[in-house]
């Protein structure tokens, strides 16, 4: 059964980083997803886009511990017509994703983040439409950096450089089946080693890292290497819309979002 004929569950990661979020502190809120842009919080905008795309059934928000009548009213409005629940976060986004996706036990499942305030509903639909035709257990959306650079030349993004070209993450992931959770488990393992790069090197292989540093690593080789370690097939889908690469976690991103929404109106 295809995704366009059924609605699938979604998981929205809304936990803050260890040590807090500088943007949240700047605006006097407890969580970065609660920063308001043109009168709406980031998380509200994400939920509204998920609702409008027409493909989403349940919504699970992970890590948003803040409770207030105003917040609850806005979330309830954005998720009206959906079964929405909240879960506490685990140490790190990967562990939180594993917990939430595994708890639901419904596949396929869309995973995204609560600070993805500019994500258009049409882009979600396009990603799901592309991903559903792909063979694999876990599909990650990648945005060509050229698209981002053309639309937002001043924006500084984390870049993924491969032999075929340069990409940005989209924070759009489709876990197609239970086996796909193994990719999240592997992400959690690597995440715990982020301050110990020699252990990451030992895990992936020194040749992998050398080829990446020299710009000779192909995207296919990278995905196949991770797939082999995780024992699940990881594949990518191209997301052309540059807005999919913009998550709001800095003052520069906030200013970009304000400017874009102002000009859109």
Cα–Cα distance measured from residue 258 to residue 97, given in angstroms and rounded to the nearest whole number: 29
Give which of 82, 90, 80, 241 is closest to 152, Cα–Cα. Answer: 241
pLDDT at 50: 95
Cα–Cα distance measured from residue 68 to residue 91, given in angstroms and rounded to the nearest whole number: 24
What is the β-pairing status of strands 56-62 and 84-87?
parallel
Span 140-161, average pLDDT = 94
| pLDDT 10s digits, 48-59 | 999 999 899 999
| pLDDT 10s digits, 20-31 | 678 888 888 888
Cα-Cα end-to-end distance for the chain: 38
Cα–Cα distance measured from residue 150 to residue 226, given in angstroms and rounded to the nearest whole number: 30
User: 252, 156 in Cβ contact below 8 A?
Assistant: yes
**pTM for the complete prediction?**
0.90
pLDDT at 19: 60
- Please give the residue that has the higher pLDDT: either 225 or 16: 225
| Vertex 248 angle, CA 243 and 254, to 5° | 95
Output the CA–CA distances (angstroms, integers) from residue 106 to 82, 90, 150, 186, 233, in the order listed: 15, 20, 38, 20, 18
Residues in CB range of 84: below 8 A, 6 or more apart? 58, 59, 60, 61, 75, 76
User: 31, 14 in Cβ contact below 8 A?
Assistant: yes
Q: Residue 243 — φ and ψ, nearest 5°?
A: -60, -25
Cα–Cα distance measured from residue 200 to residue 218, given in angstroms and rounded to the nearest whole number: 18
Cα–Cα distance measured from residue 143 to residue 147, given in angstroms and rounded to the nearest whole number: 7
| pLDDT 10s digits, 74-117 | 787 777 778 888 898 888 889 999 999 998 889 999 999 999 99
Give which of 162, 157, 138, 139 is closest to 147, Cα–Cα. Answer: 157
Beta partners for residue 110, in sequence order = 10, 174
| Vertex 145 angle, CA 140 and 147, to 5° | 105
| pLDDT 10s digits, 192-250 | 665 555 555 566 677 777 777 777 889 999 999 999 999 999 999 999 999 999 999 89
CATH code of residue 60: 3.90.550.10
Quote the number of domains for the chain.
1
Residue span of the structural domain in which 226 resides: 3-264
pLDDT at 4: 47
DSSP secondary structure letters along 99-152: HHHHHH--SSEEEEETT-TT--HHHHHHHHHHHHTS-SSEEEEEEEHHHHHHH-
**pLDDT over 70 for what percent of the chain?**
89
Cα–Cα distance measured from residue 164 to residue 167, given in angstroms and rounded to the nearest whole number: 9
């Amino acid at each position: 059964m295809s995704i366009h004929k059924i609605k699938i569950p979604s998981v929205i990661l809304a936990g803050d980083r260890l040590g807090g979020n500088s943007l949240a502190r700047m605006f006097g809120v407890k969580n970065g997803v609660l920063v308001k842009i043109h009168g709406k919080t980031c998380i509200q905008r994400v939920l509204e886009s998920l609702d409008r795309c027409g493909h989403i059934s349940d919504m699970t928000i992970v890590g948003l511990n803040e409770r207030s009548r105003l917040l609850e009213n806005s979330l309830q409005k954005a998720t009206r017509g959906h079964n929405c629940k909240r879960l506490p976060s685990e140490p790190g986004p990967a562990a939180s994703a594993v917990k939430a996706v595994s708890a639901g036990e419904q596949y396929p499942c869309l995973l995204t983040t609560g600070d993805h305030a500019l994500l258009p509903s049409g882009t979600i639909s396009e990603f799901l439409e592309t991903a559903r035709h792909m063979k694999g257990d876990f599909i990650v959306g990648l945005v060509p950096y050229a698209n981002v650079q053309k639309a937002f030349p001043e924006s500084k993004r984390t870049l993924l450089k491969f032999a075929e070209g340069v990409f940005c993450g989209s924070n759009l992931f489709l876990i197609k089946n239970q086996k796909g959770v193994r990719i999240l488990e592997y992400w959690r393992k690597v995440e715990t080693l982020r301050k110990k790069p020699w252990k990451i090197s030992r895990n992936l292989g020194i040749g992998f890292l050398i080829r990446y540093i020299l710009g000779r690593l192909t995207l296919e080789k990278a995905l196949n290497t991770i797939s082999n370690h995780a024992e699940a097939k990881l594949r990518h889908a191209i997301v052309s819309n540059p807005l999919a690469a913009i998550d709001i976690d800095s003052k520069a991103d906030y200013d970009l979002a304000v400017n874009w929404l102002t000009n859109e109106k």
